[in-house]
């Protein structure tokens, strides 16, 4: 018989065989026992965590006539045909190579027919995130209106690439990375069944290299079996995985602690020359530093590694402070991120080694830096407290002072003048001197058409404004917000568009546009009217010095009211102070 890889020989055939996913397998078994089977499932998670295996087990369990407690019997014809991949009603599709619309349309057409042998027709679509947009749309229709006795099981390692409309129509199960202890336990079970001797330290190294994937663990174990001479030793596992020996890491960390860059670089060269992979090297050193911390704080948690905790390791854990280990971890983590996309990782490794062995990471320097940082932070806090105390004192003094009658007027003036936008007061007054009600009415009549004629951005700006006064040569426009007013005044394209459209809608009228803020308009109008009243007073007194005061005041008031009506089109009540 042709040799089969371990991950194929030991592929899970029952829910209880799926390692590290108890919550998911128990949920699926309960659903089968209670006949609450959904029409679509989505299995997500890292590679080698049991997604496709669980999908096949589910297909067997829903179709097995001898199912017990939600588990397939694996003995009937249906179960055996699904395991061998010959069952016509269980179709497994690789979306990476069948990602077009036509393939999904073919599935839709076949889904319309009832299953021939099994109770349910099951479609297992692996790596479903590889489907095209059109294929997803075609699949969505089938998921929206599922046929009777048809189940879709979608599996993917990248669920973020799947449209939300697809995810919302499935029951989603997230497969997690398998714990190292669970991988070690399963690898030991496989070796015992295969009558192969091993050391537990070797299995720990293999399980860590698997990074939470059982399939990767079994593949590495397969290599270790081929490399060894009948017994899998720690040295075999280190050679196969490219991991560092504990002696190498002991010597390296001691050299870093003693601040010997030359020795550290020499050890790094030995590691790389022996074939150690840079990424694996950094991972091993990070785990070593983590073990140092754990041994300092909770040594009982490293009971499973007690056999390879050397005297050098224990001595380093006593001599190296936690702060220095934190600094080691930061440097190693930074180097790990940098070499991820680098074509020459050795450079980053050598720089990291120099940092690790540098004086900048010595215990005294780390402590000193921490003290300096703490003192600076305390100084800043003291300064902030002093400033807050001053502000509180000033507020108390302001609250205690009596409010005068002139204060509101002063505040009002400050509010009008204290603005980032400089109001064009002279231009406003020039328009008001020549303003007429007729011009203003004409502008207001075409205002809606003016807005409609502008672009979306220009319309949005002008919609927050209103015409306030118009003369034959000028137009005052007040904006609700100062920031928009300032932007409009500096946008030459906007100004030209407004002028051209007004000229087109009112024949021969192309006014000079004057922009102000809405809150400044009442103040400017009052200032202008006050200036007009003073002008009227001077002229009337000069021409008719001998006339009575009452007659003069009546004429003055009439002239001012008449001017206001011409300007603004509404009656203005002039209040005398």
Check whether residue 270 and residue 346 sit in a common domain: yes
Task: State the Cα–Cα distance between residues 135 and 264, nearest whole angstrom.
Answer: 55
What is the per-residue burial (b if ≥16 Cβ within 10 Å, else e) of 141-156? Answer: ebbeeeeebbbbbbbb
Check whether residue 141 and residue 36 sit in a common domain: yes
Q: Is residue 433 part of a domain?
A: yes
Task: State the Cα–Cα distance between residues 524 and 502, nearest whole angstrom.
Answer: 25
Q: Is residue 508 part of a domain?
A: yes
Residue 215's nearest CA partner among 366, 76, 64, 9 is 9
Res 242 pLDDT > 90: no
Check whether residue 430 and residue 504 sit in a common domain: yes
Q: Is residue 40 part of a domain?
A: yes
Check whether residue 167 and residue 189 sit in a common domain: no
CB 488 within 8 A of CB 461: yes
Query: What is the overall mean pLDDT for the chain?
Result: 81
Res 143 pLDDT > 80: yes
Res 211 pLDDT > 80: yes
Check whether residue 194 and residue 268 sit in a common domain: yes
Which domain range does residue 514 map to? 423-528
Provide mean pLDDT across the span 445-449: 86
**167-209 confidence digits (pLDDT tens):** 999 999 999 999 888 999 999 999 998 888 988 888 988 988 8
Q: Which helix (H) or strand (E) holds 41?
A: strand 40-44
**10-47 confidence digits (pLDDT tens):** 889 999 999 989 999 999 999 999 989 999 999 999 99
Res 409 pLDDT > 80: no
Check whether residue 45 and residue 148 sit in a common domain: yes
The band of 417, judged by pLDDT with boundaries at 50, 70 and 90, is very low
- Give the phi and the psi of residue 121 in degrees, each rounded to 5: -90, 120
Give the DSSP letter of residue 68.
B
The band of 423, judged by pLDDT with boundaries at 50, 70 and 90, is confident
**278-313 confidence digits (pLDDT tens):** 888 888 899 889 888 888 888 887 766 666 678 888
Check whether residue 489 and residue 522 sit in a common domain: yes
Task: State the Cα–Cα distance between residues 505 and 103, nearest whole angstrom.
Answer: 60
Provide mean pLDDT across the span 410-431: 66
Provide mean pLDDT across the span 435-439: 84
Res 567 pLDDT > 60: no
Number of domains in the chain: 3
Q: Is residue 152 part of a domain?
A: yes
**506-564 confidence digits (pLDDT tens):** 887 888 888 998 888 888 888 888 876 555 454 444 444 444 444 444 444 555 455 55
Check whether residue 83 and residue 195 sit in a common domain: no
CATH number of the domain bearing residue 169:
3.40.50.300
Which residues have CB under 8 Å from 383's CB, separation 6+? Answer: none
The band of 404, judged by pLDDT with boundaries at 50, 70 and 90, is very low
Of all residues in the chain, what percent carry a pLDDT higher than 70? 83
Q: Which helix (H) or strand (E) holds 437?
A: helix 437-445
Least confident span in 56-70, 263-277, 544-558: 544-558
CATH number of the domain bearing residue 292:
1.20.272.10
Higher pLDDT, 381 or 369: 381
Check whether residue 25 and residue 135 sit in a common domain: yes
Check whether residue 169 and residue 37 sit in a common domain: yes
């Amino acid at each position: 018989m042709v040799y089969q890889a371990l991950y194929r020989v030991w592929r899970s055939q029952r829910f209880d065989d799926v390692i590290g996913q108890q919550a998911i397998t128990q949920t699926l078994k309960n659903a089968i026992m209670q006949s609450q089977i959904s029409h679509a499932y989505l299995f997500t998670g890292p590679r080698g965590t049991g997604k496709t295996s669980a999908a096949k087990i589910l297909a067997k369990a829903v179709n097995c006539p001898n199912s017990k407690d939600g588990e397939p019997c694996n003995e009937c014809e249906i179960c055996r045909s699904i395991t061998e991949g010959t069952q016509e009603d269980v179709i497994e599709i690789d979306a990476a190579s069948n990602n077009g619309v036509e393939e999904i349309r073919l599935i839709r057409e076949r889904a319309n027919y009832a299953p021939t042998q099994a109770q349910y027709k099951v479609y297992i679509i692996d790596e479903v995130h590889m489907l095209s947009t059109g294929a997803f749309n075609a699949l969505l229709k089938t998921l929206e209106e599922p046929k009777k006795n048809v189940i879709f099981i979608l599996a993917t390692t990248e669920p973020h690439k799947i449209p939300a409309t697809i995810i919302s129509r499935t029951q989603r199960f997230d497969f997690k990375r398998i714990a190292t202890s669970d991988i070690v336990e399963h690898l030991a079970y496989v070796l015992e069944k295969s009558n192969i001797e091993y050391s537990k330290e070797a299995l720990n190294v293999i399980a860590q290299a698997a990074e939470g994937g059982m399939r990767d663990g079994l593949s590495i174990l397969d290599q270790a079996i081929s490399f060894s001479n009948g017994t899998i030793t720690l040295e075999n596992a280190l050679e196969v995985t490219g991991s560092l020996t504990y002696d190498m890491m002991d010597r390296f960390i001691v050299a870093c602690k003693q601040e010997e860059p030359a020795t550290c670089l020499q050890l790094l060269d030995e590691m790389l020359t022996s074939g150690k992979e840079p990424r694996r090297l950094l991972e091993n050193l990070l785990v070593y530093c983590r073990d140092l911390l754990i041994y300092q704080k909770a040594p009982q948690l490293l009971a499973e590694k007690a056999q390879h905790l050397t005297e050098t390791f224990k001595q380093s854990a006593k001599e190296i402070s936690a702060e220095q280990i934190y600094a080691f971890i930061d440097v190693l983590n930074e180097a790990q991120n940098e070499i991820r996309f680098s074509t020459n990782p050795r450079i980053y490794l050598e720089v990291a080694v120099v940092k690790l062995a540098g004086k900048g990471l010595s215990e005294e320097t780390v402590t000193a830096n921490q003290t300096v940082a703490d003192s600076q932070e305390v100084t800043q806090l003291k300064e902030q407290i002093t400033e807050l105390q001053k502000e509180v004192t000033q507020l108390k003094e302001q609250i205690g002072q009596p409010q005068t009658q002139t204060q509101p007027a002063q505040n009002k003036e400050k509010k009008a003048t204290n603005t980032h936008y400089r109001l064009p007061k002279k231009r406003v007054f020039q328009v008001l001197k020549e303003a007429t009600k007729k011009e203003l009415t004409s502008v207001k009549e075409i205002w809606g058409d003016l807005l409609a004629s502008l672009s979306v951005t220009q319309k949005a700006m002008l919609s927050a404004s209103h015409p306030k006064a118009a003369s034959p040569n000028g137009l005052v426009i007040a904006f609700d917000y100062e920031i928009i007013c300032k932007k409009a005044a500096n946008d030459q394209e906007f100004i030209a568009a407004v002028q051209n459209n007004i000229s087109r809608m009112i024949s021969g009228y192309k006014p000079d546009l004057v922009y102000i803020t809405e809150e400044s308009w009442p103040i400017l109008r009052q200032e202008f009217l006050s200036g007009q009243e003073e002008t009227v007073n001077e002229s009337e007194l000069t021409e008719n010095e001998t006339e009575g005061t009452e007659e003069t005041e009546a004429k003055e008031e009439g002239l001012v009211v008449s001017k206001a009506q011409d300007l603004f089109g509404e009656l203005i009540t002039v209040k005398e102070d």
